[in-house]
Amino acid sequence: MALLYVVVSGVVVTAVVLLTVFILRLFGILRHGSEYKPGQKGSVSVLVVAGSGGHTTEIVRLMGSLSQSYNPRHYVIADTDKMSEDKIRTFEAEREKSGLPSQFTIHRIPRSREVRQSWSSSVLSSLSALMSSVPLVFRLQPDMVLCNGPGTCVPLCAAGLLLGILGLKRVLIVYVESICRVETLSLSGKILYYFSDYFFVQWAPLKDKYPKAIYVGRLV
């Protein structure tokens, strides 16, 4: 009995220590996030999260406004998304025709939550998305994750943060809230508001509600 108590106590103490280290590492990353400037050393490898429909249209427009330094571009879409890949390939083909470098890849992961999916089942689907996101992000090791609201972005951003927590690579998290969000944030926005390095909104009322947000007008 005494041996069992010692073992259990050791496990609990180890878990508490690991959790404390994890939280301290996360706090350090979030506190000094704005000091990280990946573009100072050349091109920026960016992981772009594309959602269905309007999200993809907005993120493609946003990519079109960025310089050619954001290269290569790794697009990630949900495995049930039927339209985003065509939009991305069309955008990249137009870039190539204009003489700009077009180095990109497209990857698919399970969708975190389908439209009208119950919250109980979305927990399991989100875990599935996270399990696919971690090895993908660890393999690509992007300098930056750029997203604008689809649920798929949350596990991908979590995987990017995990890279930094483990000391493997600092990944910048940049979130641009959808132009459709005028007075309230999306669910993804409400979560990533606390974990992103740069959080952009496109309407002034959101800046008033969320002081950390950056408002520079319409971006897409």
Tokens 């404390």 belong to which residue?
Answer: 20
User: CA-CA-CA-CA torsion for 128, 55, 26, 201, nearest 10 degrees?
Assistant: -160
pLDDT of residue 5: 47
d(CA 171, CA 211): 23
Strand ranges in 85-153 using DSSP code E only, listed in sequence order: 104-109, 144-147
C-alpha distances in Å from residue 95, one per residue of 63, 92, 103: 11, 5, 10
Q: In what order do the strands lie in the sheet with 70-78?
A: 104-109, 70-78, 44-49, 144-147, 172-176, 198-201, 214-215
CB 136 within 8 A of CB 107: yes
The pLDDT of residue 19 is: 46
Question: Cα(77)–Cα(100) distance, rounded to whole angstroms?
Answer: 23
Distance CA 14, CA 137 (A): 27
> pLDDT truncated to tens, each residue of the chain (220 aa)?
665 544 554 455 455 544 454 454 555 555 555 556 666 667 999 999 998 778 899 999 999 999 889 999 999 999 988 899 999 999 999 999 988 878 999 999 998 776 666 666 677 888 999 999 999 999 999 999 999 988 889 999 999 999 999 999 999 999 999 999 999 999 899 999 999 999 999 999 999 999 999 999 989 8
Contact yes or no for 74/107 (Cβ under 8 A) = yes
| 84 contacts 96 by C-beta, under 8 angstroms | no
Q: Residue length, the chain?
A: 220
Residue 99 backbone phi and psi in degrees, to 5: 90, 5
- State in words which class domain 43-113+120-215 has: alpha beta
Task: Give dist(CA 109, CA 113) in Å, integer.
Answer: 12
Task: Find out whether the peptide bond into 150 is cis, omega within 30 degrees of 0.
Answer: no
